[in-house]
Each structure stands twice: as C-alpha cells, then as structure tokens.
Structure 1
Amino acid sequence: MGDVIELHAGEYRAGIDHTGAALRSLTWRGRDVVWPYGADGPTAFQGQVLAPWPNRVTEKGYRFGGAEYHLEPNDPATGTAIHGLVHDRTWSPESVSGDAATLRLDFEGTPGFPFPLELSVTHRLTGDGLEVTTTARNRGGSPAPFGLGFHPYLTLGEPLSALAERGELTLEVTAGARQPVDEQMLPSGAPVPVDGGPLDFRPPGRGLGDTVLDTAFTALERDGDGRAWVRASGPEHRVSLWCDSSFGWLQLFSADTLGGADHRAHLAAEPMTCPPNALATGTDLIVLAPGESTGHTFGITAEARG
C-alpha cells in the first residue's frame, strides 16, 4: 500500500493512506474507534472513499445525457459494480500539517464512467474527533453524474457480536426509513418507514441483538446542527459517526458476510449522498455542470460513558 500520513490532535490519532485517500486508522485514548488495516491493504473496503458512486450499480448499465454506459462488475456475489473507481488510485498530498491532510485526485474517467472529476478529501483532527470534508468538481465540458460515500467500520475494542451477546452493545441510528432491496442488493421499491419495527434504531438504548444489517437508511432525522448520527455504545465508551445534510443516506453493514475473526466484529456506518443504483435510477444523484463543485462533510467521535 501507499505511504501513510499520521495526524494527531488531543486524544485522537489518525492514519491517512495515499492509496484511495483512505482512513487507515483512527484511535482515541489509544483505542481503535474504526477497524484499522495494515500494509496488506483493506479487507472489506474499510476506510475507503466511495466515488463517483457509493454502494452498487446494476450490471445492466445506466443512461446519462442520452448515452448508455456499462460498468465492470466487481462484486461476484451480486454481479454488480460496487463502491466507485477511486479506492485503488494514488492520491497526491496537497497540504499536510500535524492535524490535517488534504489529498487530491484528478480522475480522468473510464469507458464506463467517462466524466473527468477533480476530487479533494481533507481529514482533520480536533479535540472533538475526526472531520472529513470532500469536494468534487466537474473538469469536463458536459454535465457529469456524481455520488459519494465513505466506508468506515466503527469498533468498540472487541467483537460487536460478543458485546451484543452479553447485552452490552446499544445502537442508535437517527433514520426513519429503510430501502428494500432484491437479491442483487438493488432497490426493489420505495423506502419504507421503520417505525417500531426491527430496524428502528431511533430509541436510545436499543440493543443490536442478532439483527443482520446490510441496509440503506434514509429519512434521516437531524440535530440542531443539521447532523444525522449513528452511535454504537459499549459498557465503557461510545463511538459515533455524524454526517451533514449533504448526505441523505446511511448504509449500515453488520459484517455478517465476513469470515473468521471479522464476522460481526465491526459495524460499517457509511454516509452516502444517494442510494444503491443511483446512476441507473437517478434517485438523489448529483449532476455537476461543467466547472461546478459540490461539498460534503462527515465526522467520527468517541466519548466515555458514565
């Protein structure tokens, strides 16, 4: 893997990878608060930037601007194209300090996505945690479709399945609806309310139990700062992810399809600007005019309980 940029501020430390501008590690008081990866690279897209689309797109292709495009499937289980095209590219440092790093990628496009973009990701640590800000600019001469997501896995220091079995894990997600999907994990209808059901994690103090999550949530409920939240709490501390109003979706994945020690060990909490298959359906898809930019921010924080 590429070089790692080390950041520090207060009780937080982070490692940012030149490859994919990925969040390779994040610790608080010496504890991992995201599932880290080492020199061999990520196991399951951990810490990755998901652009120019998050989640997945059908193998049947998509139409944009009167033309049809086809993406190369890279998920054998579903035959879909997942998580964009920039996670394995080498990004260039634009500015680096002790507590912040900005990496940039001039993405020229591919046959399946022939839309050149200028991408910039800034990771910044403060005493309150990590803040990640992304800008994307259309470098081409015609409109460009765009979607963005991130793939951190929140962790509490031991497998979430063990904490859940002991009744020591609670999960809070400020989302009022979920996206039904078919066998390819593509949308199979409009979002449905979660009210009072097994996927309603709005009430504080609700346990994860044996609930399996690989679910896109929307109808995000926000605090006074416009932030939607995912909060995973263990007996000693809480790890939380927030996203600003530019992210209308949150994908949660309980890692049930991962094997060995990674099975149900960490919770992927993925802020997304659009749902699965947005390139094909147009749902919440961003369309950038030539020269136009878009900006998005999310963050991760930790705190002691009790």
Structure 2
Amino acid sequence: MPEIVRIANDRLAVEVSSLGAEMQSLSSSDGRSWLWTGDAAWWSGRSPILFPIVGKAPGNRLTVDGRQMEMAQHGFARRSEFALASRTETSCSHRLAATDATRAVYPFEFALTLTHSLDGDTLTVTAEVDNLDEKPLPFGLGFHPAFLWPLPDGDGKPHVVELENGAEPPLARLEDGLLRPERLASPFAAGKLQVSSEMFADDAMIFLEGAGTALTYGVDGGAVLRFRFENLPNLALWSKPGAPFLCVEPWHGTAAAMGASDDLAARPFTTILPPGEKACFAFSVEIPA
C-alpha cells in the first residue's frame, strides 16, 4: 500500500502519497478543502506528475534513443512508487530513480525528485530531474493539479482564470490526444477567461506560449488561488464537461504533434539535459486565508 505523508503549518495541510508522489489533499486551517477528491466517476487523478512525456505519443509508441518503446499517456512516473527521501513538519521529498522497469521503456539513468513544501499560505511543488547517465537525457515534464470547481463558497458564481501578464495567447487543441497544427483565437480577453463546462467538450485548452509565469483562478467576488510557475512555458486548462474540478497544468513539453516524428527528442518543448546536470521546475499556489 502507498504511504501517505502529511505536512502542515498553521495555515495549510497537505497529504502526499508515495504512489506517484501525488498530492492527495490540500486544506486550509479553516477546514476548507481546495484539491479535487479523485472521484473515479469523473477522474481518479488529483495531482499527477507527468514524466518523461506530457500527453500522448502516436499509438502510445515512442522512439527513445533510437529504439521504439511503449509509452502510455503522460509517462510512467505517475504510476510509479517513489521513495521518501526527506521529511520535516512542513516539507517532504519523494524520489524516483531508474529501475529495470523504467529502463525497459526509457533507457536512461535518472532521478526525479518531487518536493512539496509549505511557507505561510503558499504551497510550492518542485520537480528536479538529474541526468545520471553518460548521454543526454530527453524528457518532458508537467504538473497536473486539479482544484475544486466550484471552489469553496463559490456555488453558482462565475469562476475566472486571469493571466498576470494580461495576454491573449492563441489556443491549441488536441485530436486523438495529439497536438493539432492550427492555432485558434484566444478565449482570453485582456488576460481574463470565465471558465465554462462547454469549453472542454474538445478536451484540454492548451496555450503553448504567451500565458506567462503567473495567474489566478477564483470566484468572481470570492476566493482566489494565486499561481506562479518556474521553467514551465506551456499551460493547459482541463476538465470534463460537467465535472466538479478544473486542472491548472503548467508544462515543459506537450503531446506529440499530429503527423510529426514519434521521437521523444523531437516533441515540442522537450528538454535535452546534458550528462551530470540537473533541471528544476516548480509551481506555487497561494491559498486565501
């Protein structure tokens, strides 16, 4: 059975599972919960880590280091057991290292460390990828946290995503899980988007560039969650029509493009990490008091 680690301060409490190093709950000291519950009737995920790919590969097959491999959507890390590397009252780190099972589909030596840490009313989730191999390490990495929709005390009220940079980034869509080539008009107006269930009839809304490094998701006139992103140039918003959650997904890497190569190194926004080096990615969310 996966081990659950709880971290807390006087403002927030978080539970993290060793399976996928996935956050299971996020609550504030007033008793309100903010994270999706993982009800399998809609979607059993809560906050999976996406590695070594984000999204799908054509036919779930991927060319890696010259060899074709089976690779499920979003990669294997979210279904892998992580080891607890360190723990304090307000932080915990989980580590996934290469195993025979990972080498069979991803022939590299690596370590992926997920750290959840609390500071006041802010949660920060950091992913560190270490290339422990003697050859370059290609990968995509993304976060996939799901938050309640409606948020606490937000029943019947509009919910808005607002980009801090005020941009109107073009919209990309998926077809059979692969990235379509055309770009559509932005659903944002001066950086603001009132989310509605109908927006997700065609799967996720993806913004490859231009969404910036910060946004808010909140209730018009109510609670607002404030996000910041580090080394995560891509953004997706996803739900299922009628589902009571909204995923705010910062990525570095996307699904394969339709009609393009199935080579991992050729996927959009893939990181190619030199031997012996480390890459860091992070998001933070500030929870209102």
Q: 1:228 aligns with which of 201, 214, 235?
A: 214
Q: Which residue pairs with 1:140 in the alignment?
A: 133
Tell me: CA distance 1:95–1:270, structure 2 relative to 1, closer, same or farther (3 Å): same
Q: Which residue pairs with 1:45 in the alignment?
A: 45
Q: What pairs up with 1:1-150 in 2 under 5 angstroms?
A: 1-28=1-28, 29-37=30-38, 43-59=43-59, 61-65=61-65, 67-72=66-71, 81-108=72-99, 109-150=102-143
SS of the residue 1:290 aligns to: coil
Q: Which residue pairs with 2:281 in the alignment?
A: 296
Distance, in Å, in 1 between the alignment partners of 2:233 and 2:148 is 23
Question: Is the 1:173–1:201 contact (alpha carbons within 8 Å) kept by the matching residues of 2?
Answer: no
Distance, in Å, in 2 between the alignment partners of 1:58 and 1:216 is 18
Distance, in Å, in 1 between the alignment partners of 2:110 and 2:228 is 26
For structure 1, list consecutive stretches of 5 or more residues without a partner in the other structure.
73-80, 257-262
Q: Is residue 219 of structure 1 aligned with residue 209 of structure 2? A: yes
Q: Which residue pairs with 1:152 in the alignment?
A: 145
How far apart are 1:156 and its partner, in Å?
A: 5.0
CA deviation map 1:68-127 (0-9, x unaligned) = 32324xxxxxxxx31110112221111100100111111232433222211111100111
Question: Is the 1:69–1:113 contact (alpha carbons within 8 Å) kept by the matching residues of 2?
Answer: no
Distance, in Å, in 1 between the alignment partners of 2:216 and 2:286 is 11
Distance, in Å, in 2 between the alignment partners of 1:36 and 1:17 is 13
TM-score normalised by structure 2 residue count: 0.83
Q: Is residue 185 of structure 1 aligned with residue 170 of structure 2? A: no
Tell me: CA distance 1:171–1:191, structure 2 relative to 1, closer, same or farther (3 Å): same
How far apart are 1:141 and its partner, in Å?
A: 2.2
Q: What pairs up with 1:195-206 in 2 under 5 angstroms?
A: 199-200=187-188, 202-204=190-192, 206=193
Tell me: CA distance 1:288–1:241, structure 2 relative to 1, closer, same or farther (3 Å): same
SS of the residue 1:59 aligns to: helix
C-alpha RMSD over aligned residues: 2.7
Q: Which residue pairs with 1:259 in the alignment?
A: none
For structure 2, list consecutive stretches of 5 or more residues without a partner in the other structure.
258-263
Aligned residues: 273
User: What one-letter code is carried by the residue in structure 2 that aligns with 1:100?
Assistant: S
Distance, in Å, in 2 between the alignment partners of 1:272 and 1:229 is 14
User: What one-letter code is carried by the residue in structure 1 that aligns with 2:125?
Assistant: V
Tell me: CA distance 1:71–1:191, structure 2 relative to 1, closer, same or farther (3 Å): farther
SS of the residue 1:82 aligns to: coil
